[in-house]
Amino acid sequence: MKKIFTVLVLLLAVSTMFFVVGCKKEEKGTVKIAVVGPHTGDLASYGIPTIKAAELVVADWNANGGVLGRQIELVIEDDVCKPEVAANSAAKVVGEGVVAVIGHICSGATKSAMGIYNEANIPAISPSATNPPLTQSGDYPNFFRTIASDDAQAATDAEFIAKTLGLKKVAVLHDKADYGKGFADFTVEALKGLGVETVLYEGITAGAVDYSAILTKIANSDAEAIVFGGYHPEASKLVQQMTQMGLDIPFVSDDGVKDDTFIKVAGEYAEGVYASGPMDTSANPMSQKATADHKAKYGEDPGAFFINAYAATIALLNAIEKADSTDGLEIMKALRSNYVDTPLGSISFDDKGDAIGVGFAVYQVQNGAYVEL
């Protein structure tokens, strides 16, 4: 009796699988675009706004007849920001026959996925992967981004430290991951050029319960500021423990910290923190429309990289239209040769894939919100 029951359960499970597969049958005639990024896990707050941006743009275009006279379909895949998962997600969306990719979000994950897209000649536009070698190494001719690279960001931060704050000595910390360490290294380089000395340069363990030892070390060095390359969970622990220890020096960080989640988690301790992020585009009418659409549909302000993702999707659809083809190589050519109006302004892409016309600015937390300086 028990055996029969087991067999029945197995049969049921197998038939359910068939049912699921059956449902996923291809809709003919749509142009498929993948959106890949962290949609669950610690860093989901960086990935979800991109889905929303792509959905809003695609809804607009579909209502106006789609692209090349076909409707656009989004294929959404989660890479949890992990390189090992990203390679699988990439292979999966390639297998589903996507024309292009919006993503990935984190630099490490993007790096591991790009080779797979490159083999299939699929262009990918990331709204947020800022690691410089992605474009500068020339390894990925199919990679584009609607955000300036880390060295541009590091140069902005370094200039801010040297000129605006007028400091001479800094301590540089990073979280030992691609993004954070890349930013830290470029900042050290840029600071050297401006005559600022890096008195201390160290990696910290992400997720550790306590950073008192390293903060004590900084307090005992003659550093006048801390530069941190990494994401908001560590940044908020660092600023909280700095305040509790009475270590009162400026904390300058990157785009991974310039997110409202940082302010939410760090609360009062976030006050006064400097972080660089993409330039404020709130005066751009297209950006205002995108934000208004987001508010109308989701009832809240858009999250991190929303505008960049919105611009990436517009640039991509525009390039498909201009190329008059869904062939990857044609789309890449069109991305490079045309300027397109986006919420970030009028942008195009250079030979390496970096956006022309996109830059960084430094922000500070004042009264619980980031204010551009």
Q: What's 70's DSSP letter?
A: B
- Under rule CB under 8 A, how many of the chain's residues touch other proteins? 36
Query: In sequence order, what are the residues at sequence separation of 6 or more whose Cβ sits closer than 8 angstroms to the Cβ of residue 145?
Result: 125, 126, 127, 128, 129, 130, 134, 135, 312, 353, 354, 355
Residue 191 binds other proteins, judged by CB under 8 A = no
Type of residue found at 279 = M
Residue 204 binds other proteins, judged by CB under 8 A = yes
From the CB of 169, what's the least distance to other proteins, in Å? Answer: 18
Alpha-carbon distance 99 to 124, whole Å? 9
Of 220, 227, 262, 269, nearest in space to 244 by CA: 269
From the CB of 333, what's the least distance to other proteins, in Å? Answer: 39
Residue 209 binds other proteins, judged by CB under 8 A = yes
- Closer to other proteins by Cβ: residue 174 or 294: 174
Interface pick for other proteins out of 26, 119, 202, 301 (rule CB under 8 A): 202
Residue 219 binds other proteins, judged by CB under 8 A = yes
- Closer to other proteins by Cβ: residue 52 or 145: 52
137, 140, 142, 148 alpha-carbon torsion, rounded to 10°: -40
Rounded to an integer, what is the distance from CA 363 to the centroid of its chain? 18
- Pull the structure tokens for residue 310: 């919105």
Interface pick for other proteins out of 57, 152, 154, 214 (rule CB under 8 A): 214
- Closer to other proteins by Cβ: residue 245 or 361: 245
Alpha-carbon distance 273 to 364, whole Å? 6
Residue 42 binds other proteins, judged by CB under 8 A = yes
Are the beta carbons of 34 and 98 closer than 8 angstroms? yes
From the CB of 43, what's the least distance to other proteins, in Å? Answer: 9
Interface pick for other proteins out of 66, 180, 182, 233 (rule CB under 8 A): 233
Interface pick for other proteins out of 97, 203, 357, 359 (rule CB under 8 A): 203
From the CB of 198, what's the least distance to other proteins, in Å? Answer: 14
Are the beta carbons of 34 and 46 closer than 8 angstroms? no
Interface pick for other proteins out of 1, 220, 296, 367 (rule CB under 8 A): 220
- Closer to other proteins by Cβ: residue 2 or 25: 2
Alpha-carbon distance 97 to 103, whole Å? 16
Residue 352 binds other proteins, judged by CB under 8 A = no
Of 361, 157, 183, nearest in space to 251 by CA: 157
Tokens 């250079």 sit on residue:
350
From the CB of 189, what's the least distance to other proteins, in Å? Answer: 18
| Contact set with other proteins (CB under 8 A) | 40-42, 44-45, 176, 202-205, 207-210, 212-214, 216-217, 219-220, 232-233, 236-237, 240, 244-247, 261, 264-267, 269
